[in-house]
Amino acid sequence: MQQFETDIVIIGAGPVGLFAIFEAGMLKMKCHVVDALDMAGGQCAALYPEKPIYDIPAYPHIMAQELVEKLKEQAAPFAPIYHFGQRVEKVEKLETGDWRMETSTGTVLRCKAIIIAAGCGAFGPNRPPLTGIEAYEGKSVFYMVARREDFRGKRVAIAGGGDSAVDWAISLSELTQKLYLIHRRDKFRCAPESASKLKALADSGKIEMVVPYQLHGLEGANGTLSSVVVATLEGATKKLDADILLPFFGLAMELGPIAQWGLNLDINHITVQQSTAQTSVPGIFAIGDIATYENKLKLILSGFAEAASACHAAYKIVHPGEAFHFEYSTTSGVPKVA
Ligand SMILES: Cc1cc2nc3c(=O)[nH]c(=O)nc-3n(C[C@H](O)[C@H](O)[C@H](O)COP(=O)(O)OP(=O)(O)OC[C@H]3O[C@@H](n4cnc5c(N)ncnc54)[C@H](O)[C@@H]3O)c2cc1C
């Protein structure tokens, strides 16, 4: 069993957790970071690495994966220790006032304060209920697009009616041999601009609209897909010759073990005091998508500000009795880690 001691444990290495490492470091607090995924970046890296983000201050646009790389670079001077591929399962308060946490692989972490930056919890895609789909996952069925180029020249079927389905249909139609968009009705939940682009691509034959249809079955062998079977609500079926299926039915939000830690919750979110990101349990803070308060905006930039608030509040716990002198980064520079 591996055991570590540190100032702060951050649960979640999404964009907000990564920025919290920097903010903690600027206040001379050391961090360990645990993530259930085997890489940093949370939703940005796992769900839309090659999509441009337009609302990160000072970046007119930046690819999601590039943002993750820059956040890692910004955190690097503070030498954070990452524990990937493990989920924090247990959290308990010790008599000393410190926290003891245990992960799914048995790592034990002791710390003075906890920052939960767990996004929508240990997230996973909503899987369509198709018999035998597991055999195709990772070979012909993907729940996210890691690299657009992987789909060049392929016959791709995208299923779903939200932003992800529409945006990827538009984007991938530039390089696929054939692109089907399967949806159970002819209305899509997407930006009006995307809806117009989609219509233009469908009119020009670049995208074949398969509506109103839903997924019915998969055909192929050894994980290699040959066709996707779709059906109308009345049960009439047809086959689409396809190499790849991309089902985009959103994320399953599952708080997982976090729900058992005695924190005040509001439907899968942790309620916090907005000014400090403090949860109902002193010493535990929550930031980013998982944290909620009145009029919360679930945006990366809100999470960044919450990371700063949480770290300033945590400073008083990590360094009790020490006077705190507020300094701009232009004055302090980036402090050296001991
Ligand atoms: C397609 C798409 C486009 C988007 N576009 C934008 C945009 O343009 N602008 C914008 O501001 N936002 C956008 N968002 C939202 C943005 O991605 C989220 O607001 C952001 O990722 C939240 O960051 P986070 O660090 O709070 O959580 P996440 O990115 O969700 O990361 C949380 C991490 O915590 C880990 N975790 C959870 N529970 C545990 C546990 N118990 N133990 C260990 N690890 C755990 C997860 O594995 C995950 O890696 C978009 C989202 C999607 C899906």
What is the Cα 296 distance to its own chain's centre? 17
User: Is-contact 162 190, C-beta < 8 A?
Assistant: yes
Q: Calculate the average pLDDT of the chain.
A: 94
User: For residue 282, how far is its CA from the centre of ligand 1 (angstroms)?
Assistant: 24
Q: Which residues contact 199 (CB under 8 A, 6 or more apart)?
A: none
User: Is-contact 194 167, C-beta < 8 A?
Assistant: yes
Helix axes of 64-75 and 15-26: crossing angle, nearest 10 degrees: 20
- Tell me the best of 10, 11, 18, 43 to mutate to test the pocket of ligand 1, counting ligand atoms within 8 Å of each CB and taking the most: 43
Edge to edge, the sheet with strand 244-247 lists 208-210, 178-182, 155-159, 244-247
The CB of 119 under 6 Å from ligand 1? The reply is: yes
The CB of 53 under 6 Å from ligand 1? The reply is: yes
Give the pLDDT score at 168: 94
Write down how long the chain is. 338
Give the pLDDT score at 253: 65
Name the residue at shortest CA distance from atom 12 of ligand 1. Answer: 299
The CB of 68 under 6 Å from ligand 1? The reply is: no
Give the pLDDT score at 146: 75
Residue 251: is its pLDDT beyond 80? no
Residue 115: is its pLDDT beyond 70? yes
**What is the per-residue pLDDT across 197-219, written as a single tens digit (0 to 9) for each?**
999 999 999 999 999 999 999 99
Q: What is the mean pLDDT of residues 95-124?
A: 92
Q: What is the pTM of this model?
A: 0.78
User: For residue 220, how far is its CA from the centre of ligand 1 (angstroms)?
Assistant: 34
Report the share of the chain in percent with pLDDT over 70: 98
Beta bridge pairs of residue 33: 10, 82
User: Is-contact 223 140, C-beta < 8 A?
Assistant: yes
**What is the per-residue pLDDT across 266-325, written as a single tens digit (0 to 9) for each?**
988 999 999 999 999 999 999 999 999 999 999 999 999 999 999 999 999 999 988 888
Buried b (16+ CB within 10 A) or exposed e, 210-238: bbebbbbebebeeeebebbebeeeeeeee
Higher-confidence residue of 252 and 302: namely 302
Residue 144: is its pLDDT beyond 90? no
Helix (H) or strand (E) holding 47: helix 42-47
Give the pLDDT score at 245: 97
Binning pLDDT at 50, 70 and 90, where does residue 123 land?
low
- Domains of the chain with bracketed CATH: 3-123+253-332 (3.50.50.60), 126-249 (3.50.50.60)
Give the pLDDT score at 247: 96
State the virtual CA torsion across 117, 122, 125, 128 in degrees, nearest 10: -150
User: For residue 300, how far is its CA from the centre of ligand 1 (angstroms)?
Assistant: 8
Name the residue at shortest CA distance from atom 51 of ligand 1. Answer: 43
Cis previous bond, 212, omega within 30: yes
**What is the per-residue pLDDT across 11-47, written as a single tens digit (0 to 9) for each?**
999 999 999 999 999 999 999 999 988 899 999 998 8
Report the share of the chain in percent with pLDDT over 90: 80
User: For residue 45, how far is its CA from the centre of ligand 1 (angstroms)?
Assistant: 9
Q: Which residues contact 204 (CB under 8 A, 6 or more apart)?
A: none
